[in-house]
Amino acid sequence: MDFILGPLYNLFGWLTKVFFGFFGNYGVAIIVLTVVIRGLLIPLNVRSQKSMIKMQAMQGKTMELQRKYGDNKEKYNEELMKMQKENGIGGLSGCILPIIQIFLIWPMFRIVSAPLIYLSGVAAENINSMIEIGQNMGILDNAVSEKFHIGLISALDTHSEFFNTCIEKGHIAMGQMIDLHFMGMDLTKTPAFNPVTIFSDPKTYIPLFMIPIIVLIINIVSMQMTKFLKPGYKEEKEARERAKKNAAMAGQVTQDSAETTMKIMNWMMPAIMLFTTFTMPAAMGLYWVVGSLMGILTQILVYYMFTKPYQIKKAEVELKKENAFRHKKTEESDPEPEEGRKSGKKNRKKFNDTEA
């Protein structure tokens, strides 16, 4: 992973260092870095949404293929892929964005776990030397490493003798110890949910406790917005309501199973995020808060740019079809044919002329 992601580690570290040097605040640097990363992913998000809208618009053709090929799954998939390709729909477009977002977690986690290397510019050899000194002094345990040295930063902050020893040996300089606080919170600390830990140092851990809670709330909101703003949500909801009223409707069991699975996922993901935020430095939680807010803003942007115009256009087309159907039905229900109406008008005219 280091060989593959090494360039990303260096890139993210360099960007964080640039933003930290410009703003002079670690938390603001994390926020700006997150905005830049998520901003670069907006075109992919837009493309994914456009692909979803096209899939929704082609639903009628997809159902036609299902009727045409029946149980021949191989031929159906072949024709479906061909149709998607002709209409510019990428089969993996909906999967690429989540994969990239998960992939980017690793370099971000490395930056917030090893800020002395990526922000302060301390050499890896010096980090290892300081860890060895701290372990010999009984200050550090074996969990602290070059790649994840949050415990080393804490030890340097709280043990003056250890800090002075590291300076005397030339492993670190005074100017390389940077302030990693944001709004009074130490972003190198891990949020705690244990009441004993929280009340042992409430000034430190109560503010940090709010970060996982905010992550949970924003993720729930994001999940719900994804459901409500997706193309065809109204139609799917109406179909589910009809299915509930008609238990004999084909596909009812499958639909209920899929709906249950989706509900489980919608609650499982925020729960996983909540648990994960309690196991990582608070800076990682800040990254998820800002990233989730960027995701919500992107959803709203894409909805008003593409989804809503598509829904309006679709409603207009359906209204025209309905009016045309009503007009045709009215003509078919008229008992008097067109020629009969014309001859009737002529006969009435002759009768009126005769009477006159």
For the segment 160-197, what is each residue's pLDDT rounded down to a tens digit? Answer: 999 999 999 999 998 888 889 999 899 999 999 999 99
In the chain, the percentage of residues whose pLDDT exceeds 70 is 78
What DSSP character marks residue 88?
T
By C-alpha distance, which of 182, 220, 167, 148 is closest to 23?
182
Q: Choose among 291, 272, 268: nearest CA to 280.
A: 272
| Three-class SS state of 285 | helix
Mean pLDDT, residues 72-98: 69
% the chain with pLDDT above 90: 32
Q: Which amino acid is at 288?
A: W
Residue 255: predicted pLDDT:
46
End-to-end CA distance of the chain: 103
pLDDT of 340 over the 80 cut: no
pLDDT per residue as tens digits for the range 138-163: 898 888 888 899 889 989 988 999 99
- What's the CA gap between 124 and 112, in Å, rounded? 15
Cα separation of 63 and 83, whole Å? Answer: 12
Residue 131 CB contacts under 8 Å (≥ 6 apart), including other chains: 140, 144, 145, 146, 149, 152
Alpha carbon distance 95, 37 (integer Å): 18
For range 301-314, the mean pLDDT: 81
- Which residues have CB under 8 Å from 233's CB, separation 6+? 227
Per residue in 213-239, pLDDT (tens digit) is: 999 999 888 888 877 777 666 666 666
Choose from 38-47, 286-295, 346-355 the range with maximum mean pLDDT. 286-295
Look at 49 and 112; give whichever has higher pLDDT: 112
What's the rounded Cα separation, in Å, for the pair 94 and 57? 16
Asked if residue 346 has pLDDT above 60, the reply is no
Amino acid identity of residue 123, one-letter, is A
Kindly provide the residue ranges of all beta strands, DSSP E only, lying in the chain, ordered along the sequence: 181-182, 185-186
Q: Other C-beta atoms within 10 Å of 281: how many?
A: 24
Kindly indicate the confidence band of residue 344, based on its pLDDT and cuts at 50, 70 and 90. low
Average pLDDT, the chain: 80
**Residues 6 or more apart from 178 whose CB is under 8 A from it?**
20, 26, 115, 119, 120
Tell me the C-alpha distance between 9 and 280, whole Å.
Answer: 17
Residue with the bigger pLDDT between 281 and 74: it is 281
What confidence tens digit (pLDDT) does each residue in 258-294 have? Answer: 556 666 766 788 888 889 999 999 999 999 999 999 8
pLDDT (average), residues 103-129: 91
What is the model's pLDDT at position 170?
A: 93
Beta carbons within 8 Å of 181's beta carbon, 6+ residues apart: 26, 27, 187
Nearest to 228 by CA among 311, 145, 284: 311
